[in-house]
Amino acid sequence: MASDLVKVGRALISVSDKNGITDFASVLYELNPDITILSSGGTYKHLKPESEKHGYKLIEVAEYTGFPESPGGLLKTLHPRVHGAHLLNLDNPDHAKYMNENGIIPTDLVVVNLYPFQKKVEEGEPIDVIRENIDIGGPTMIRSAAKNFLRVAVVVDPAQYAEVLNELKETSGNTKLKTRFALAARAFNATMEYESNIDRFFSLQLPEEMAEYYLTALK
């Protein structure tokens, strides 16, 4: 059953654009000193000094999943414990049993923004740089969190931080259902735009030229 207010006791933060994220995490801690924040890769390294300074609990995703991050960060968050934490609900007895058996702890807030694919295209970066900036784990986390807006709030843009924090302050650290729905709508729009940019880029490339490029590069 959907509840209007959901207390933010556990958040996952994984962002490419780190503007404002340190202050955002610190305010989350101020609102709920018992909060646990999961993070990975560069975001974990970015938040760690502040977490040690302020004392909030910061856990690396690899520690939670028990699966090490791969070279290059290609595999960080693509794991059942991550997506189960977004998709499953403890209010459902079958879900709760599965979660308890598999060490899945529900996430209340997901903060993710994506690799700057379109920016790299517009800057005229080489094809390999553009290819490396196709985000896989980010859109997957956004979509799994947005699908479960009944319980999970998902934030995809630093421009949303102030609005979300204002609501958390007004509600003693909770998110409202109408806000989670609005955030989900923005999240799905963001992934749609992201995939459209990738589709547009690939549609403009000639397959024979790309094949020749890589065959030459591999020699």
**CATH (domain of 59):** 3.40.50.1380
**CB neighbours of residue 194 within 10 Å:** 21
* Residue-range definition of the domain harbouring residue 98: 5-217
Task: Round the average pLDDT of the chain to a whole number and report it.
Answer: 94
Average pLDDT over every residue of 48-57: 93
- Of the two residues 3 and 168, the one the predictor is more confident about is 168
Are residues 84 and 147 in contact, defined by beta-carbon separation less than 8 angstroms? no
C-alpha dihedral (156, 159, 165, 168), degrees to nearest 10: -50
CB 40 within 8 A of CB 76: yes
* Model confidence pLDDT, tens digit, residues 72-88: 777 889 999 999 999 99
Domain count, the chain: 1
pLDDT at 210: 82
* pLDDT, tens digit (0-9, with 9 covering 90-100), for 130-184: 999 999 999 999 999 999 999 999 999 999 999 999 999 999 999 999 999 999 9
pLDDT, residue 8, reads 97
Tokens of 87: 């998709």
